[in-house]
């Protein structure tokens, strides 16, 4: 079976929610993928910031296989070894001391939203998020998402969500009213175009939460698990949230999400208030344990910061070479973007397509930047290869 056969069969049976590259991926290793036609790709998408240790990392594969032979599922009516170990690792290495396990980013955020409401008490339910944010596709998380295009056709949106303009703490404070219970934000907006929130702005948001007795929820679904060069992005920002959500890279490809918080807040979730059949499933949690252990090994992050600086320098070189298409570089760690000019934006989709044809995978995030989210294990040679192909494509685009 070739790519074209899989495309034809898939298009005949799937709901039309995705625009897919015309390739059926069959194998992955490290930063490389291979499709059904045998073509090799250099992967700077990593399953959308999921396969942060690279495809089929041996420690994760081993943990998943051995757990799958022992025990795959029992529900949360029982304790399991991997779920407990993962929660211990997450709490030992974050501000949090309580964890609720889910299966995805949206579900982790749903848990955070429900916890913020029940903890804040009767009449306090409204959550302020930011314009340009992305928090998931369930009805509540899409309502929290500050991008109207994701609401269209699904109205009415659930009530209790308002969006403040990005970057303006004074405007944000005007939204606070007696029904407000929390402020929800990503430390760096990934989906809408790799837009970092300045540490000073995040500190102002923290102060507003303290002043008005609101919970601060960080959606670290994309920024967490090493993506920005530390285990969690908040560590670099001088701001500690009250609740943090994780998913994407937590299982390096196995579906798992988590909501982390302090015990004084978590205590508002009592027996029966929230649940998930699969959340923290033993196989997914075993993957999470292997991811945590690999990332916590000595030297893991030092290496990433170095490679990140190198990558940024190379991207800045590209931006300088094509100033009519690129206006700069932003992001941190291995969550980086080449910001496009108006003319560059017109060619964004075409640039991604041409790179795909040359065997390099990136994406056009928020329809305004070229986003680079390779496995954290990417090498300098991989970066050089990507930069070479990118320059060639930008040259062709003109
Ligand atoms: C991807 C993402 C989500 C949604 O995660 P799913 O696993 O697709 O539900 C939520 N928040 C942020 C910041 C994300 O990047």
For 236-266, how does the pLDDT look when each residue is reduced to its tens digit (9 = 90+)? Answer: 999 999 999 999 999 999 999 999 999 999 9
Is 357 within 8 Å of 40 (Cβ atoms)?
Answer: no
Domain with CATH 3.90.1150.10 in the chain: 3-56+299-397
Give mean pLDDT, residues 48-52.
98
Which atom, in ligand 1's list, is nearest to the CA of 137? 9
pLDDT recorded at residue 275 = 98
Mutate which of 48, 185, 191 for ligand 1? The one with the most ligand atoms within 8 Å of its CB, which is: 191
Positive or negative torsion for Cα 246, 55, 366, 390: positive
Q: Quote the CA–CA distance of 209 and 330 in Å, as a whole number.
A: 27
pTM of the prediction? 0.98
Question: Is CATH 3.40.640.10 what the domain over 58-295 is classified as, yes or no?
Answer: yes
Which atom, in ligand 1's list, is nearest to the CA of 219? 13
Give mean pLDDT, residues 210-219.
98
106 lines ligand 1 (CB under 6 A): yes
190 lines ligand 1 (CB under 6 A): yes
Q: Ligand 1: distance of its center to the CA of 387 in Å?
A: 27
Burial class (CB in 10 A: 0-12, 13-18, 19+), 8: exposed
Give mean pLDDT, residues 214-235.
98
Within 10 angstroms of residue 341's Cβ, the number of other Cβ atoms is: 16
- CATH assignment of 3-56+299-397, given 3.90.1150.10, 3.40.1280.10, 3.40.50.720, 3.90.76.10? 3.90.1150.10
Q: Ligand 1: distance of its center to the CA of 395 in Å?
A: 34
pLDDT recorded at residue 333 = 98
Alpha helices per DSSP H over 213-277: 263-266
Give mean pLDDT, residues 378-391.
98
Establish whether the linkage from the previous residue to 156 is cis, with ω within 30° of 0.
yes
Give mean pLDDT, residues 158-169.
97
Is 116 within 8 Å of 247 (Cβ atoms)?
Answer: no
64 lines ligand 1 (CB under 6 A): no
Which atom, in ligand 1's list, is nearest to the CA of 189? 13
Is 224 within 8 Å of 246 (Cβ atoms)?
Answer: yes
pLDDT tens per residue, range 53-67: 999 999 999 999 999
Q: Is 373 helix (H, G, I), strand (E, B) or coil?
A: coil
Q: Quote the CA–CA distance of 360 and 372 in Å, as a whole number.
A: 11
Name every residue whose Cβ is closer than 8 Å to that of residue 99 and which is 6 or more positions away in sequence: 86, 87, 90, 91, 258, 259, 260
Burial class (CB in 10 A: 0-12, 13-18, 19+), 208: buried
Which atom, in ligand 1's list, is nearest to the CA of 138? 9
> Which secondary-structure segment (H or E) carries 206?
helix 199-212
pLDDT over threshold 90, residue 398: no
Q: Ligand 1: distance of its center to the CA of 3 in Å?
A: 28
Q: Ligand 1: distance of its center to the CA of 234 in Å?
A: 17
Name every residue whose Cβ is closer than 8 Å to that of residue 218 and which is 6 or more positions away in sequence: 185, 186, 187, 233, 234, 241, 243, 244, 245
Q: Quote the CA–CA distance of 20 and 14 in Å, as a whole number.
A: 11
Is 126 within 8 Å of 92 (Cβ atoms)?
Answer: no
Percent of the chain with pLDDT over 90: 99
Mutate which of 247, 366, 371 for ligand 1? The one with the most ligand atoms within 8 Å of its CB, which is: 247
**CA-proximal residue: ligand 1, atom 5 (nearest):** 105
Domain with CATH 3.40.640.10 in the chain: 58-295
Q: Ligand 1: distance of its center to the CA of 291 in Å?
A: 18
221 lines ligand 1 (CB under 6 A): yes
Give mean pLDDT, residues 184-196.
97
Question: Degrees (nearest 5) of the Cα angle 312, 317, 319?
Answer: 90
Rounded mean pLDDT of the chain? 98
Question: Packing angle between helix 300-321 and helix 282-296, nearest 10 degrees?
Answer: 80
Is 182 within 8 Å of 164 (Cβ atoms)?
Answer: no
Which atom, in ligand 1's list, is nearest to the CA of 103? 7
The residue ranges of DSSP E strands in the chain, in sequence order, are 25-29, 32-35, 40-43, 98-102, 126-130, 161-164, 180-185, 188-189, 195-196, 215-219, 243-246, 257-261, 326-332, 335-340, 360-361, 363-365, 369-372
Q: Is 16 helix (H, G, I), strand (E, B) or coil?
A: coil
pLDDT recorded at residue 384 = 98
Q: Quote the CA–CA distance of 362 and 52 in Å, as a whole number.
A: 14
pLDDT over threshold 90, residue 361: yes
pLDDT recorded at residue 32 = 98
Rounded to 5 degrees, φ, ψ at 110 are -60, -45
Within 10 angstroms of residue 331's Cβ, the number of other Cβ atoms is: 27
Q: Quote the CA–CA distance of 174 and 170 in Å, as a whole number.
A: 7
């Amino acid at each position: 079976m070739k790519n074209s056969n899989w495309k034809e069969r898939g298009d005949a049976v799937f709901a039309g929610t995705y625009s897919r590259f015309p390739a059926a991926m069959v194998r992955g290793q490290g930063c490389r993928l291979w499709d059904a036609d045998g073509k090799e790709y250099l992967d700077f998408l990593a399953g959308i910031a999921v396969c942060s240790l690279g495809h089929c990392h041996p420690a994760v594969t081993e943990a998943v296989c051995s757990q799958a032979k022992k025990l795959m599922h029992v529900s949360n009516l029982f304790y399991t070894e991997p779920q407990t170990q993962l929660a211990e690792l997450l709490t030992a290495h974050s501000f949090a001391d309580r964890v609720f396990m889910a299966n995805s980013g949206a579900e982790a955020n749903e848990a955070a939203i429900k916890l913020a409401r029940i903890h804040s008490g009767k009449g306090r339910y409204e959550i302020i998020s930011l314009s340009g944010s992305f928090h998931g596709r369930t009805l509540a998380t899409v309502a929290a998402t500050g991008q109207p295009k994701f609401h269209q056709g699904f109205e009415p949106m659930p009530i209790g969500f308002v969006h403040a303009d990005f970057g303006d703490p004074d405007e944000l404070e005007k939204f606070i009213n007696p029904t407000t219970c929390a402020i929800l934000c990503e430390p760096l907006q990934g989906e809408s175009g790799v837009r970092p929130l300045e540490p000073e702005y995040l500190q102002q948001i923290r102060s507003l939460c303290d002043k008005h007795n609101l919970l601060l929820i960080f959606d670290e679904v994309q920024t967490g698990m090493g993506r920005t060069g530390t285990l969690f992005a908040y560590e670099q920002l001088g701001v500690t949230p009250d609740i943090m959500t994780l998913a994407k890279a937590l299982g390096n490809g196995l579906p798992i999400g988590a909501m982390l918080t302090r015990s004084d807040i978590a205590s508002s979730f009592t027996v029966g208030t929230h649940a998930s059949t699969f959340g923290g499933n033993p196989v997914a949690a075993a993957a999470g344990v292997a991811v945590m252990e690999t990332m916590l090994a000595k030297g893991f992050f030092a290496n990433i910061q170095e490679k990140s600086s190198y990558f940024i320098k190379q991207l800045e070189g590209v931006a300088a070479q094509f100033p009519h298409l690129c206006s700069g570089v932003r992001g941190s760690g291995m969550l980086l973007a080449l910001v496009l000019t108006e003319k560059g934006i017109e060619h964004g989709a075409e640039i991604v397509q041409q790179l795909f044809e040359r065997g390099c995978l990136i994406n056009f995030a928020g329809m305004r930047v070229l986003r680079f989210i390779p496995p954290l294990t990417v090498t300098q040679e991989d970066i050089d290869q990507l930069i070479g192909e990118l320059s060639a494509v930008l040259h062709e685009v003109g």
